[in-house]
Structure 1
Amino acid sequence: MTDFSKILIANRGEIAVRVIKTAKAMGYRTVAVYSKADESALHVELADQAVLIGAPAVSESYLVAQKLIDAAKQTGADAIHPGYGFLSENADFAKLCAQHNITFIGPSAEAIELMGSKRLSKLAMIAANVPCIPGYQGDDQSDECLLKEANKIGFPLMIKASAGGGGRGMRLVFSADEVAAALKSARSEAQSAFGSGELILERAVIEPRHIEIQVFADNAGNTVYLGERDCSIQRRHQKVVEEAPSPFVDENLREKMGNAAVNAAKACQYSGAGTVEFLVDNDEHFYFLEMNTRLQVEHPVTELITGLDLVAWQLRVAAGEDLPLSQQQIELTGHAMEVRLYAEDPSNNFMPQTGEILGWQLPEQDGIRVDHGIRKGQTISPHYDPMLAKVITFGQNRAEARRKLVCAVEDTVLMGVNNNKRFLINILKHKVFAQGEATTAFIEQHFSDDVSLHKAQLPLKNLAIATILMHEQTSKKITPSHELLRWHNGFSAPWQYTLTDGSDNYSLKLIVDGDNGSPTYTVISNNNNIVIERVEIRENQMKFLHNNVLESLPFVFHEQALFIDSDVGNICLENITHAPVCAEEKAGNGNIKAPMDGAIVDVMVGPGQQITKGENILVLEAMKMEHTIKADVDGVIASIHTSSGEQVKNKQLLVTITNDNND
């Protein structure tokens, strides 16, 4: 038995909160670590103690192993839970913990090292007779060798970073002339994300299911599987929706995949929680993809259908206990689904978003669970993954779990930072997903033209609500407690308003008609009008009657902006009615600005260089992803206002391009 009493959680955000809650429930003291960017984070408040470990950049804080060890020593923590991401799959960190007599709550360093390499793990799985995808996993990493092997394997071809995951360092290519550029970009992204540019090549399995098996093992060699999770709906190889059990997997396939996953774990003398991921084709042939030697983001769906606390199992195994249940004692009941709420803008190519959380409200209902690490007033920075929360539901069957999840996401309110809420809702409502027929090609085949992926003109109803709120604020009828005082003189002449969402301006007329008891608002735009009645505004909530339907919408004012959580997504508008007239900055004006806060990774052009519209000019890194910024006009690079390695702010001018059309 291993005796420990205080656990340092070497992570942040929702997973740190998740681990702290279970650790406390089991009687352990907890220690949080945080960077300067996370000083007001929820996990810092919930832990018994917290230690500042450095600047916001992960390379100066959460990825510095010695700082984590020092924090454990300083607070007397005798165990470390790594969560997921950061150093959770770093064999050297596990070794460092052992050197300092600190229990690492995870598998052995040897297992992490083996399974952390897609190349080495695939070789081990082939030796263990676990089905694998044909490809190249050799140690010759020269471009010449990889190009030669790619042509041998054939196309379509998947290029993958050997280390890490989450879609980073991964490229799908369909012809030989794409390989060289894809190798370069995949290696660069892998080196930046994981510190290793090692790659493997695999024949692409087109339109598979992505099925993963949760395994658990103890130090006595007992190993079990806890059913499967279906993670087929993905965008850029990042999971979007996860569910358990899979609608595709029957008992026979579950047993085959479960046994293969157990064999994979035993092949590396595994201990603790792990996930073996497979691709499964329509004929139920399955192929080893990778093994994650940590707790998965999507572990809650397994917890809900098994009734088990996987973090508690991790702590018990790390303490030297045997697994609480045998394979025969594990039962799967009901159905669970999970979606990931991200700070990103689906209508702008999923650009990561930063800013202050101005409103955060969770659904309250049986069968709904929200794992998160955020709170109102917290600032979302560009330094970390954009995932903010996970919304999870449980039902007696899949249809019930899906219905609950749609409502739960709709009832989740996040204002101040744009997010993917509408994108998630539309996926969950889609007929193909509802019927359980989604594969990894779902978004490309069935969802590429969804309204959530494109910026559209705001409906008059939403503009009317915004106009009313702007009017009441301007008229000072919304008090500090946001209660509408409802004082009106009866019929009034139209009020003129101009609102903007940053890209489009909206001219509106507002007529307020009625006494101080129940005014009626008529909003007119482009000869269309809408009537809103029985308005009540209280505590950041507006209730109103439209077409005899009583509705409610959350809102918040912040500085000059109004944020509304509406049925068409997160809306942010400013009142520019009295703003000075100025020349509009049109798209394609040659002023290339940062689309978000981040760090410049590469400047790909120089002053005086001829450039064409759409050509790559900069690479910006934000929220653990690289984003290529392109020229918006044909012309000549007039000036460059940034350099590689510089931290830049959203809308900061980076490059100026001159062309004949510029004024």
Structure 2
Amino acid sequence: MFETVLIANRGEIALRVLRACRELGVRTAVVYSAADADSAAVRLADRAVCIGPAPSRRSYLNAAAMVEAARQVGAQAVHPGYGFLSEDADFAEICALNGLTFIGPRPEVMAALGDKSSARALMSRAGLPLPDGSVEPVPTVEAAVEVAAGIGYPVIVKAAAGGGGRGMTVVRSPADLPRAYARTRAAAQAVFGDDRVYVERYLTDARHVEVQVLCDGHGNGVHLGTRDCSVQRRHQKLVEEAPAPALSAGTLDTIAETALRGALEVGFTGAGTLEFLVDAAERFHFLEINCRIQVEHPVTEMVTGVDLVHEQLHIAAGVPLRWRQEEIRPHGVAVECRVNAEDPDRGFAPTPGRLDRFVPPGGPFTRVDTHGRPGYVVGPHYDSLLAKVAVWAPDRELALDRLERALGEFEVAGPGVRTTIPFVRRVLDDAEFRKGRHTTGLVDRLLAAAAPGSPDPAPATTAPPNA
């Protein structure tokens, strides 16, 4: 095992990794920007290194500063958490060139899987089903028109280098495709520095289901079942649960086994997540693979008893996988919600400000991952996630009731600060969600119902863009 690990992140995930390291007897060093000097991770780490000013491009996205920080503290490995540099193949390669173990897949594997078009091609060769559409990027609008005509509308134009719900445009008619194609390419170039796009069939009434996998460097791998992440705003997740509800056991097993086969065939190592869209007939289609720990990993940990960050550290240290598939026995139901400093009534706009009151919930089978505290200032520079509240119960109905109880206890207050808690409670109260019949269109339906003068909405028949 490593002696010292540099935690190249901030917020709740920095704390999560720090605690896992401490449990394994590994010294921790965290990086921080000037805005995070008084963060919980800085106060708890063995060492802390300031890597720059508040803007992330001058701090948490500064690969050179990360490597220099690792040298200063004598770290042997770097844990990137999620976001920032966690799926940057160039950063993984820079770490390797400087004698640092990047806790994640090999740089060449990450590069291939981080490109959505390349990942689709690899997974298609591995036998994973894809939505109808182009496997390779479409270089011209004429090619996009031809692909769309062949698969039928609606379609979605996606950035090959996209992520985080950005770089996607739904197109419902041929007349709209040329403009959408040009707009998506321009946005992809601006955001990702890569204007390549592809076109695929846009699935309506879809569920967003993902599979957690662990693979070592010795050819071994296990899956840890499924998660449902269909409750999304701006194509980013709000509520996640394990296992995915209201799908047959046969479908769940097939999705999980297919995901593991794909991960092993492309040489994936570490903790990763393969994401799928599942239609009303329970046909599933590969979307992408995330080469890092996911925000929603607690729900998988709660139903399996496997500490995913511990496993990341062991795998990166070269230890053969410590689990066999038959030893992974998911039990019960876990549900997690993200508490973001956002105002749902204003399109989930961030609401930065000082937290005068911050009292997370407690109680049996309730887990809160947070870096918040009274006096903490939610700044404008980073993601608005304040906390993740996750609960476990032997069945889904009790799990949802337990999460509702926990959210009712959560106190967050400060000038101008709003959170997603009231909106999540609306989700928990929704009849379709309670039955596990919701799709990725749920949030849009709830927002439409809350709009002034809106009639009672009909059941949702469309989903937001395939994330």
Q: TM-score range by the shorter chain?
A: over 0.9
Q: How many residues align?
A: 452
- 2:311 corresponds to which residue? 313
**Secondary structure of 1:62's match?**
coil
Does the 8 Å CA contact 2:138/2:199 hold for their aligned counterparts? no
Distance 1:446 1:349, change over 3 A: closer
* Partner deviation per Cα, 1:408-456 (whole Å, 9 max, x = no partner): 11211111111111001111111111111111122234552138999xx
Q: CA deviation at 1:263?
A: 1.5
- Does residue 1:96 correspond to 2:94, yes or no? yes
**Secondary structure of 1:300's match?**
helix
Does the 8 Å CA contact 2:228/2:243 hold for their aligned counterparts? yes
- Does residue 1:208 correspond to 2:201, yes or no? no
**CA distance in 2 between partners of 1:452 and 1:51 (Å):** 49
Q: Which of 30, 36, 40 lines up with 2:38 in the alignment? A: 40
Consecutive aligned runs of 4 or more in structure 1 exceeding 2 Å deviation: 137-154, 176-198, 248-251, 443-448, 450-454
- 2:9 corresponds to which residue? 11
Q: CA deviation at 1:185?
A: 4.0
Q: Which of 229, 232, 235 lines up with 2:233 in the alignment? A: 235
Counterparts of 1:273-288 in structure 2, within 5 Å, are: 273-288=271-286
- 1:176 corresponds to which residue? 174
- Higher helix fraction: Structure 1 or Structure 2? 2
- 2:356 corresponds to which residue? 358
* Partner deviation per Cα, 1:569-604 (whole Å, 9 max, x = no partner): xxxxxxxxxxxxxxxxxxxxxxxxxxxxxxxxxxxx
- Output the amino acid matched with 1:420: T
Does the 8 Å CA contact 2:78/2:103 hold for their aligned counterparts? yes
**CA distance in 2 between partners of 1:147 and 1:196 (Å):** 21
Distance 1:413 1:192, change over 3 A: farther
**CA distance in 1 between partners of 2:403 and 2:113 (Å):** 33
**Secondary structure of 1:321's match?**
coil
Q: CA deviation at 1:360?
A: 0.7
Q: CA deviation at 1:259?
A: 1.6
Q: Which has the larger radius of gyration?
A: 1
Bigger mean CA deviation after superposition, 231-240 or 309-318: 231-240
- Output the amino acid matched with 1:439: T
Structure 2 gaps of 5+ residues are 455-467
Does the 8 Å CA contact 1:118/1:200 hold for their aligned counterparts? no
Q: CA deviation at 1:154?
A: 2.8
Q: CA deviation at 1:169?
A: 1.1
Identity %: 43
**Secondary structure of 2:227's match?**
strand
**CA distance in 1 between partners of 2:176 and 2:343 (Å):** 29
Does the 8 Å CA contact 1:132/1:288 hold for their aligned counterparts? yes
Q: CA deviation at 1:180?
A: 3.5
Q: CA deviation at 1:249?
A: 2.7
- 1:124 corresponds to which residue? 122
- Higher strand fraction: Structure 1 or Structure 2? 1
- Output the amino acid matched with 2:299: V
- Output the amino acid matched with 2:438: A
Structure 1 gaps of 5+ residues are 455-663
- 2:341 corresponds to which residue? 343
* Partner deviation per Cα, 1:147-182 (whole Å, 9 max, x = no partner): 443344331111222224221112222122333343
Distance 1:140 1:443, change over 3 A: closer
- Output the amino acid matched with 1:422: P
- 2:457 corresponds to which residue? none
**Secondary structure of 2:178's match?**
helix
* Partner deviation per Cα, 1:323-377 (whole Å, 9 max, x = no partner): 1110011101110001111111111122111111221111120111111122222
- 1:299 corresponds to which residue? 297
**CA distance in 2 between partners of 1:79 and 1:373 (Å):** 23
Does the 8 Å CA contact 1:337/1:393 hold for their aligned counterparts? yes
- 1:424 corresponds to which residue? 424
Q: CA deviation at 1:243?
A: 0.3
- Output the amino acid matched with 2:330: L
- Output the amino acid matched with 1:35: S
Q: Which of 386, 410, 419 lines up with 1:412 in the alignment? A: 410
Counterparts of 1:4-403 in structure 2, within 5 Å, are: 4-403=2-401
Larger RCO: 1 or 2 (CA < 8 Å, sep 6+): 2
Q: CA deviation at 1:130?
A: 0.7
What is the TM-score with the length of structure 1 in the denominator? 0.66
What is the TM-score with the length of structure 2 in the denominator? 0.93
Counterparts of 1:394-543 in structure 2, within 5 Å, are: 394-416=392-414, 417-445=417-445, 448-450=448-450
Does the 8 Å CA contact 2:138/2:198 hold for their aligned counterparts? no
Q: CA deviation at 1:251?
A: 2.3
**CA distance in 1 between partners of 2:186 and 2:357 (Å):** 38
Does the 8 Å CA contact 1:346/1:452 hold for their aligned counterparts? no
- Output the amino acid matched with 1:338: E
**Secondary structure of 1:425's match?**
helix
Distance 1:363 1:129, change over 3 A: same
